[in-house]
Amino acid sequence: MRDYTLTVEDSNLRFLLQMRNMRVLGMALAGLCIAAALRDARSPALWAALVLMATAWPYAAHRRARLAADPVRAEYPNLIVDAALGGFWVAVMGFNLLPSVVLMSMLWLSEVATAGLKFWLRCVAVQLCVALATFVALDPPLAIASDMVVVVACLPLLLIYPIALSALLRKLSEKVRRQKRLLERLVCTDGLTGLANRQHWEWCAEQQLVRVARGECVAAMLMIDVDDFKAVNDRYGHLLGDEVLATVAGALRASVREGDIVGRYAGDEFALVMPGAGEAAAAAVAERFRAAVSGLRFPGAPTFHCTVSIGLAVLDAPVPDVADWIHRADQAMYRSKRGGRDRVTVHAPAPATDEAPALILPLPLPRRAG
């Protein structure tokens, strides 16, 4: 199994590669725009700087970030350098309107998408300062108008870069959605059995309680306990105990109806809410599950015979809260245990002063040895 550190390193590497690829594309297309605007310039140093920016800078930025202690944070200074380069070339072009606007727009798209609006404002400040300083230092001629050569040279950056950035953002958003769904499953699911964990199951039970209170339906609850489970752990070990719980959970999942809410309530206790189920339908599911568990066998413990005690409580009228509903099913489940285990007990309404009687379904089967 891969550890968390490796996972973080892989994620950082993917992020750095994405930044490098977008910077390679953006700088190359921006270099084309700038070259068209400066095509009459006679300065070798200027052309050398443009070639270095368009070809070498993306790889230098990637290497710097990759060698940093915090690669993701190291990209922030790289973005500042991108902004400074943009301000420099805008001034060198004499504020040629079309390439300047296109270049700044593409830089701003990257900065906002990568680091947010607050960081983008810092980049804008850097661009303004560098552009003014460069204009004062080099005093290039103003060239606001753009001829057709410059217009054509700007089109690839204007069209290709936003499409590439949009495709990357879509890919990242899909990844975020997948991770969100995975996190929701992890938060709501018991790791061993794959059933709903207690918190999520109780929340679902509360929703059914609301529906019953509105008179929309009846609902049944089963509380299930694996008989003598402590003895399984003590005699055969916790590995077999986990196997028993996972197998019982699988049998429960196979026994219920579509739409029933199955959860692991505690260590060896399971719980089931059956929307729209009356006593007969719930008892039939409970008995089917009880019989399925009774037939389970475990190669690691050939003498072990697994059984469950089940309590059933049908709710057809409002109760104060879910805890009261659970208590009714719990009472019936403990009566199953006191009655000999391996059976289903239905909770019945209590008389005015006496404890609620219990109905046992079906007649208890003779228990096997072991």
Instruction: Identify whether the C-beta of residue 339 lies closer than 8 Å to the C-beta of residue 364.
Output: yes
Given a cut of 70, whether residue 65 has pLDDT beyond it is yes
Average pLDDT for 73-100: 95
Instruction: Write the pLDDT tens digit of every residue in 145-166.
Output: 999 999 999 999 999 999 999 9
Chain centroid, CA 253 distance in Å: 24
Q: How many CB atoms sit inside 10 A of residue 262's CB?
A: 22
Given a cut of 50, whether residue 328 has pLDDT beyond it is yes
Residue with tokens 């019953």: 212
**DSSP E strand stretches across the chain:** 219-226, 261-264, 269-275, 308-315, 343-347, 358-361
Per-residue pLDDT, 300: 81
Given a cut of 60, whether residue 350 has pLDDT beyond it is no
Given a cut of 80, whether residue 362 has pLDDT beyond it is no
Given a cut of 60, whether residue 351 has pLDDT beyond it is no
Per-residue pLDDT, 7: 59
Per-residue pLDDT, 69: 87
Given a cut of 60, whether residue 365 has pLDDT beyond it is no
Please tell me which residue, 178 or 98, carries the higher pLDDT value.
98
Per-residue pLDDT, 354: 45
Average pLDDT, the chain: 88
In angstroms, the CA 88 to CA 272 distance is: 67
Instruction: Write the pLDDT tens digit of every residue in 309-319.
Output: 999 999 888 88
Given a cut of 50, whether residue 366 has pLDDT beyond it is no
Per-residue pLDDT, 28: 96
Model confidence at 185, in pLDDT bands (50, 70, 90)? confident
Q: Are strands 308-315 and 343-347 parallel, antiparallel or unpaired?
A: parallel
Per-residue pLDDT, 369: 37
In this prediction, what percent of the chain has a pLDDT beyond 70? 92
Domain ranges of the chain: 4-186, 198-361
Instruction: Identify whether the C-beta of residue 234 lies closer than 8 Å to the C-beta of residue 217.
Output: no
Instruction: Write the pLDDT tens digit of every residue in 222-270.
Output: 999 999 898 888 888 989 999 999 999 999 999 999 999 999 999 899 9
Per-residue pLDDT, 316: 82
- The CATH homologous superfamily of the domain defined by 198-361: Reverse transcriptase/Diguanylate cyclase domain (3.30.70.270)
DSSP letters spanning 214-263: TTS--EEEEEEEETTHHHHHHHH-HHHHHHHHHHHHHHHHHHSPTT-EEE
Given a cut of 70, whether residue 352 has pLDDT beyond it is no
Given a cut of 90, whether residue 8 has pLDDT beyond it is no
Average pLDDT for 55-73: 92
